[in-house]
Chains A and B, each alone.
Chain A
């Protein structure tokens, strides 16, 4: 089983609040990713990182921001949550030139 963790698993929060979704991996993977996935829908890449201090926006525009200060940690922040941010957020990681990604269990976010 992959050693990639996400917290919280579920979050219900009011509009306008600042939230940070945590993602950590203990596999020493250099690449990390954030995806957004609505129920029954496709994965959308919103951020990725190829290493410490390297972050890029993904294919889907997102109001969230990320940071990569440590290899194992890739938090995602929403400065002001809105109901349109309600979704599942999946974190993943991969090593070197390997194409396979290991996914965390996801955070289900509900913004009221």
Chain B
């Protein structure tokens, strides 16, 4: 079993929809949780970064971490065609600072 499982997708939504992207994990030592966005033929770029449990909001994006359930989510409000990309969750524990475990990615398409 993988340490990080990500909802496989692909996901296709109409413009303006609320999108929910999710990952579960098994390693209770994970404390740092990241979401990366990867456009086709490009390297991933950091979108959101959260430490421990809680919510973090940045514009249309909200990251949620529930450590008790070992579950993280990324919500995108008012989705735009420019949000079409692959979204990767990543997480890391204190002992391996800097080295992250990535999910497989969920490909999102937002249709105009």
Contacts and interface: CB of A to CB of B under 8 A. Distances in A.
Contacts of B32: 99
A97 B104 contact: no
Contacts of B44: 43, 90, 103
Nearest to B4: A42
Contacts of A105: 42-43
Please indicate which of the listed interface residues A33, A96, A99, A101 has the most CB atoms of chain B within 10 Å of its own CB.
A99
A58 B68 CA distance: 29
Interface in A2-57: 2, 31, 33, 40-43, 45, 48, 50
Interface string A94-106: 1011111111111
Nearest to A2: B45
Please indicate which of the listed interface residues A94, A96, A97, A101 has the most CB atoms of chain B within 10 Å of its own CB.
A101
Interface in B79-112: 86, 88, 90, 92, 97-100, 102-105, 107
Contacts of A101: 46, 90, 98, 100
Interface in B10-25: none
Interface in A79-93: 90, 92
Contacts of B36: 103
A104 B43 contact: yes
A2 B34 CA distance: 17
A33 B44 CA distance: 13
B112 to A, nearest CB: 23
B34 A100 contact: yes
A97 B94 CA distance: 9
Contact of A99 (B41, B42, B97): B97
Contact of B98 (A42, A50, A106): A50
Contacts of B45: 2, 103
Interface of A: 2, 31, 33, 40-43, 45, 48, 50, 90, 92, 94, 96-106, 108
